[in-house]
A and B are shown apart, each in its own frame.
Chain A
Amino acid sequence: MGRKLFITLVLVCFTLAVFSQQKDSVKVRLNHYTLTVGGGWTHFINNLEYGDKNIQNNFAGVSFKFYWEPEYRVSLGLESGYYHLFKVKYQAKDNSTAEINRTVVPLLLLVRMRVVDNFYLGAGIGLAFINNKASSGGKELITKTTSMSNYEVSGAYIYPLNKYFLVGGECKVFRFANLNDWMYSIQATFAVKF
């Protein structure tokens, strides 16, 4: 009897300790995380001063973003992606066909702000890993350059489908400073909020 009473008292005390300080109201979570995948058209702004004959500078690109969205208008995040900047085909002096491709993987810190309902403006700075692939005569040469000073500005419309899923569109301009590469991209985005 005494043992049962003791256990009952411990459970009651534990329950009081855990739940006695809770408000009556329903708890509302004010900050979220979103994971966004984007895909669409990218355009390298051709500022090559030499060797841009037969340049192809429109490609598809993808981006991946992770945002922390607090209860304020401003969100912070990380962005990466994969963009094909250009492809140049060239007839070399020995009449062989050469092809040069430049791709970039940015890694940017983002700041995004909701300016009006569903409309956002963003900016990002960070690193970019630039790959140059030159192919000629059956041989391939890949050189890698890390660009330290890069930025992006973007504008986005994001429409919430429900509590967890969002779709939208985004326009953004990148500058990769090391090689003075400029690119813009228009992408459809799909986001998961959690």
Chain B
Amino acid sequence: MKIKTLYLAGILLFLFGCNKDALVPIPSAGPSSSFITETNPLGKPSKEIMEGVYQVTSGSDKFGEYMVVKWNPDGILLTCKNGLHFIMKAGHLDSVVFVQGYWRDGYSDATGLCNMYISKSEGGASIVSGAGTTNILIRGAYGDNNNLPDQQLTLQYLRPISDKIKNANFYILGHRAGGRNSDRLPVSENSLAMVKFTQQLGTTGVEVDPRISSDGVAFIYHDADINIRLTQKGPLAGDVSAYTWLQLSTFVRLIHGEKIPSVEELLTYVVDSTELRFVYLDMKSAEAVPVVIPIQQKAIQRAKEKGRDLLIVMGIPNTDVLNALLAYPDYQNVPTLCELSIDDFKQANSVVWAPRWTLGTQNDLVQQVHDLNAKNLAVCWTIDSPGWIRDFLNQGHFDGLLTNYPYVVAYYHYIQE
């Protein structure tokens, strides 16, 4: 019996193992079901009042005891400790605040709609006026998939995000421009659309993967080859760097239809159109180093001119990239992130040290990095399990975490006192 099961499993793996991951669609109750576009936008003081830690007074069996509410440039994120999170929009009509959107489980396919509101007497009036209150009750319901929300969810305001956390220079870094295709997000990894979308997941920075085309254009793409995991099935195949930028632009579309962005396009987009504070260029080839550095410097200059607090660092994942960097004239002035040893970090004059998370919190080395220069940072990659994220935040001294589940990092970060 067991042998037959194994044979069957083997055949199924053979037949379907290379199939694409399915998408988890954004739930919708229909084209006319959203009323949030008819509400008035909330001002910055109102948003600040709403942000904080809430107690889940009904719905805690699913979402846990607490929820963190945090605004982002595109809406409002409600996030829980177990990977469940709400991607919502909010606005007001008179003194009632409406919050509408959907929830998702980052670790499974579960999703559904959510409608909530804050009545005038339960904090709505104070939020809308910007007067401030600590008595906020968010009432509403959530549902499964496209079904109308029918399960009660109530959040009681507990406390604001602590000043210590608000003032901390901590980065929540989204992997592959904010999220992987394997997590079945509605936009493609390493795309401009993902850079925009990921802010709704709570990220404050992104990691992206620069490569170089055969005619010397630096672009963002993770794998070494064109494949159906990352791209819509098209006529090109094989080594992605063997093609010219024109060929890639013409014939390749990412899995959700976006163009492969050039490094320049992506950095310009980050500077001009986002509030992200950190870009980690995780170099996929040493040959790309001398091509990417001028683009990086141009983007840094552009960010300065716009008054943006934005750190753009070139990653050093291996000795090939390190050697290519050291061969670059004036490499000491290139802001870099070193994934190698502390000695390599010093040699490259890096500003960020980024060890693999499996090496542990390494507090002594993190301290050494901070001691070298107060502006130096230490971030850790790529940490995904809620338990580990909690432990690294509670026990480690990192200045940021790179993750595929930024809403989980956001929960454990913002809930700290």
A residues near B (Cβ < 8 Å) are 47-52, 55, 86, 88, 90, 92-94, 98, 100, 102, 125, 130, 132, 134, 136, 141, 143-145, 149, 151, 177-180
Q: A50-B253, A151-B14 are in contact. Are A179 and B228 (CB under 8 A)?
A: yes
Q: A51-B251, A90-B251, A93-B246 are in contact. Are A143 and B238 (CB under 8 A)?
A: yes
Query: B18 and A149: CB pair below 8 A?
Result: yes
Cα distance A79–B17 in the bound complex, in angstroms: 23
Q: A49-B232, A179-B228 are in contact. Are A93 and B238 (CB under 8 A)?
A: no
Cα distance A143–B228 in the bound complex, in angstroms: 16
Query: B234 and A51: CB pair below 8 A?
Result: yes
Query: B228 and A98: CB pair below 8 A?
Result: no
Which of A92, A93, A145 is the one whose CB lies under 8 Å from B237?
A145
Q: A125-B14, A134-B247 are in contact. Are A50 and B225 (CB under 8 A)?
A: no
Query: A93 and B235: CB pair below 8 A?
Result: no
- Residues on the B chain within 8 Å of A134, using CB: 236, 243, 247, 251
Query: B237 and A130: CB pair below 8 A?
Result: yes
How far apart are B238's CB and chain A's nearest CB, in angstroms? Answer: 3
Query: A50 and B251: CB pair below 8 A?
Result: yes
Query: A132 and B232: CB pair below 8 A?
Result: no
Q: A100-B251, A134-B243, A180-B228 are in contact. Are A149 and B235 (CB under 8 A)?
A: no
27 intermolecular pairs with C-beta atoms under 8 Å apart: A49-B233, A49-B253, A50-B231, A50-B234, A50-B253, A50-B257, A51-B235, A51-B236, A55-B235, A90-B250, A94-B246, A102-B235, A125-B14, A132-B236, A134-B236, A141-B242, A141-B247, A143-B236, A143-B242, A143-B243, A144-B238, A145-B225, A151-B14, A177-B17, A177-B18, A178-B227, A179-B228
Q: Which of B219-278 contact A (CB under 8 A)?
A: 225, 227-228, 231-239, 242-243, 246-247, 249-253, 257
Cα distance A50–B247 in the bound complex, in angstroms: 13
B residues near A (Cβ < 8 Å) are 14-15, 17-19, 214, 225, 227-228, 231-239, 242-243, 246-247, 249-253, 257
Q: A50-B251, A93-B246, A143-B242 are in contact. Are A149 and B236 (CB under 8 A)?
A: no
Given contacts A49-B253, A100-B236, A180-B18, 10 further A-B contacts (CB under 8 A): A49-B233, A50-B231, A92-B247, A93-B246, A134-B236, A136-B246, A141-B214, A178-B18, A179-B227, A180-B233
Residue of B nearest to A177 (CB): B18
- Residues on the B chain within 8 Å of A178, using CB: 18, 227
How far apart are B405's CB and chain A's nearest CB, in angstroms? Answer: 28
Query: A93 and B250: CB pair below 8 A?
Result: yes
Cα distance A92–B244 in the bound complex, in angstroms: 12
- Residues on the B chain within 8 Å of A145, using CB: 225, 237-238
Residue of B nearest to A86 (CB): B235
Cα distance A125–B14 in the bound complex, in angstroms: 10
- Residues on the A chain within 8 Å of B242, using CB: 141, 143
Secondary structure at the A interface, as helix, strand, loop or mixed, is: strand
- Residues on the B chain within 8 Å of A136, using CB: 246-247
- Residues on the B chain within 8 Å of A94, using CB: 246
How far apart are B382's CB and chain A's nearest CB, in angstroms? Answer: 26
Residue of B nearest to A175 (CB): B15
Most A Cβ at <10 Å: residue of B214, B235, B238, B253: B235
Query: A143 and B237: CB pair below 8 A?
Result: yes
- Residues on the A chain within 8 Å of B252, using CB: 50-51
Query: B251 and A102: CB pair below 8 A?
Result: no
How far apart are A53's CB and chain B's nearest CB, in angstroms? Answer: 10
Residue of B nearest to A88 (CB): B235
Query: B247 and A98: CB pair below 8 A?
Result: yes
Residue of B nearest to A85 (CB): B235
How far apart are B345's CB and chain A's nearest CB, in angstroms? Answer: 37
- Residues on the A chain within 8 Å of B18, using CB: 149, 177-178, 180
Query: B237 and A179: CB pair below 8 A?
Result: yes
Cα distance A102–B236 in the bound complex, in angstroms: 8
Query: A179 and B233: CB pair below 8 A?
Result: yes
Query: A49 and B251: CB pair below 8 A?
Result: no
Query: A48 and B233: CB pair below 8 A?
Result: yes
Cα distance A90–B22 in the bound complex, in angstroms: 30
- Residues on the B chain within 8 Å of A132, using CB: 235-238
- Residues on the B chain within 8 Å of A125, using CB: 14
How far apart are B99's CB and chain A's nearest CB, in angstroms? Answer: 36
Query: A92 and B246: CB pair below 8 A?
Result: yes
- Residues on the A chain within 8 Å of B231, using CB: 50
- Residues on the B chain within 8 Å of A90, using CB: 250-251
Cα distance A48–B239 in the bound complex, in angstroms: 19
Q: A93-B249, A94-B246, A151-B14 are in contact. Are A49 and B234 (CB under 8 A)?
A: yes
Cα distance A190–B197 in the bound complex, in angstroms: 59
Residue of B nearest to A130 (CB): B237
